[in-house]
Structures are given as C-alpha cells and as structure tokens.
Amino acid sequence: MQTAQNIPFRKMNGLGNEILVVDLRGRAKSFSEAEVKNLAGRAETHFDQMMVLHDPSTPGTTAFVRIYNADGSQVSACGNGTRCVALSVAEDTGQTEMTFETDAGLLAARVESADRITVDMGVPKFDWQDIPLAEEFRDTRAIELQIGPIDAPILHSPSVVNVGNPHAIFWVEDVAAYDLARFGPLLENHPVFPERANISLAQVVSREHIILRTWERGAGLTKACGSAACAAAVCAMRKRLTERRVTVTLPGGNLEIEWTAADRILMTGAATHEHAGILPEAPAPAT
Ligand SMILES: N[C@H](CCC[C@H](N)C(=O)O)C(=O)O
C-alpha cells in the first residue's frame, strides 16, 4: 500500500456532515479502499465522506472529484462535500464560479460566501432501472416496501430517486418518532436496492418546508445529507406536497433546494472549516 507523501488535507463539514478534502491534483496517486478506511478511522482525519480532487479531463473544469464513504465505498454524489470543495477552491484561487467533474457528471458551483454556496446537483432520475431497483416498479413515487412491525409505527411506501446516488424517502408525521439507527442498516442493505441506498425520513411541515433525517449508505447516521435533501425535495414536489423551492431542515441545519423549470436541482447552504494538516503515514500492510 503506498504511504501518504506529505499530502495536505482540510477537515471541514457541511451542516455537520463530516468531510475530508484532499487535493491530489498534479500527483499520480489515488487511495486504496484500505487507506480510505484507515483515514476515516483516525480521530484527526475522521470523515463521513472524503472528497479527493484529481486532475480533470474536461477542459475548463476545476477538478475531477472522487468521493468515498467512510466504509471505503466510492460513490458519485455528495452535496455537502461538494460545497466544502467549492469553498476550498474559492479560498485558494479567488474563483467564485467553478465546475467539477464527478462520476455522476459535471456539477457547477457558485460561492457567494461560506454561508451561501450553491451547487447544481444535476437532473433527478426516477425510473426504477436508474435508482437502481432490483425489480420493476411502475410508480417510484411510492414503491411497495415496508419495515415493521419491529418498529411501530410502520414505515411503508417510500419514494425513490437517483440524484447521482440512490435514495429512498419515507414520509412520516414525526421524524423523531423512529429509531433510524436500528432499521437504517436493514433498509440500506435491502435486496430491492442492488447498489444499497441512502434512507431518509421526511416530515412535510408546509409547502415550503421539510424536516429530514438520514441514514447514509456507507456512513450511517449523519448530521446532514445534501443529496438526501435534494432527493426529498424533488420527491415531495413530484407528489405535489411542496412547491419547487423548499427549505430542508436537517439535524445540522438548513439547506435551500430548488428544482428548476430546466429540471436541475440547485442546493444552497454553508460549508465550515474545522482544521487542516498533513495526512498521516499509512500503516505498513499487515504481513
Ligand atoms: N452516503 C452517500 C454519499 C454522501 C451523501 C451525503 N453525505 C451528501 O451530502 O450528499 C451515498 O453513499 O450515496
């Protein structure tokens, strides 16, 4: 396993979603799954997601961003992490507009301040094959899935969507009434989700306000999940529960989500610095 060669990192968060930002541009290096999990497990570099910047291949873009969950899995979208990367780049270069390459496509970002960073999270996908689901469901606004009676009240009929990553949204009267830590992993790994899924409880307070809690695929309970906020917003709009602009309140704070007439999802919120340092030497591989 290659050791880290004096590589700087920034520990940040997006509404409390723990993010490690590592810039590998100009270096011929990438991280193994073992290195990712090792960094996630250390107090100084602990993260829910790690955002790694690599040299881009599309002219005019700032970086290709590779995204890892704490369990080492590589994923294609992280809203909170993308805001942290955008703030980091803006502070380093003075740029306020930038575009990143990700496995889910190009993401444009605008940095007005550390409190107002907007990311275009792209176009939502609702077909069962695009989530993906293991079998055909005609109406992905409510699929036949339920959990219980291990948890009362029963959870059922989630909406599903892909916003660069897969999400299932359960609609509830009170997000605090459920032991999400207990059944989150059951649903994350449910066979109906061949690539697993991020699992959220959504409470629609008004036509402009949703309260959300999320069990994240590959990271567990987090204080915020930006892509889940996007997922809940577009699924609520699709069910005619909300307008096209909503505030989503997560345990760590608020995000503004807009599903534009051009079918793109705009997410606006803050990013916060915590500390910076040099990545620790990776441990020698067990012989
Ligand atoms: N756990 C997610 C990736 C990070 C999403 C979340 N942290 C966000 O802000 O969007 C997944 O496996 O698809």
Choice from 195, 217, 223 to test ligand 1 binding pocket (greatest atom count within 8 A of CB): 217
What pLDDT is recorded for position 145?
A: 86
The pLDDT tens digits for 121-169 are 999 999 999 999 999 999 999 998 877 665 566 889 999 999 999 999 9
The pairing of beta strand 116-120 with beta strand 146-147: unpaired
The pLDDT tens digits for 215-272 are 999 999 999 999 999 999 999 999 999 999 999 999 999 999 999 999 999 999 999 9
Q: How far is the CA of 216 from the centre of ligand 1 (A)?
A: 6
The pairing of beta strand 17-23 with beta strand 49-54: parallel
Q: Is 235 a catalytic residue?
A: no
Q: Is it the case that residue 3 has pLDDT exceeding 70?
A: no
The pLDDT tens digits for 111-122 are 999 999 999 999
What mean pLDDT do residues 163-188 have?
Answer: 95
The pLDDT tens digits for 82-105 are 999 999 999 999 999 999 999 999
What mean pLDDT do residues 34-43 have?
Answer: 96
What does the alpha-carbon distance between residue 40 and residue 219 come to, in Å, rounded to a whole number?
Answer: 10
Q: Is it the case that residue 1 has pLDDT exceeding 90?
A: no
Q: Which ligand 1 atom sits nearest the alpha carbon of residue 216?
A: 1
**pTM for this one?**
0.95
Q: Is 78 a catalytic residue?
A: yes
Q: Check pocket membership of 218 for ligand 1, CB cut-off 6 A.
A: yes
Q: What number of residues does the chain have?
A: 287
What does the alpha-carbon distance between residue 216 and residue 188 come to, in Å, rounded to a whole number?
Answer: 8
Tell me what ipTM this predicted complex has.
0.95
- At 57, the pLDDT band (50, 70, 90 cuts) reads very high
What pLDDT is recorded for position 89?
A: 98
Nearest CA to ligand 1 atom 7: 225
Q: Check pocket membership of 23 for ligand 1, CB cut-off 6 A.
A: no
What does the alpha-carbon distance between residue 189 and residue 110 come to, in Å, rounded to a whole number?
Answer: 35
What does the alpha-carbon distance between residue 2 and residue 30 come to, in Å, rounded to a whole number?
Answer: 9
Q: Which two tokens mark 244?
A: 């096209």
Neighbours of 118 (CB within 10 A): 19
Which of 48-52, 152-156, 199-203 bottoms out in mean pLDDT, i.e. has the lowest? Answer: 152-156
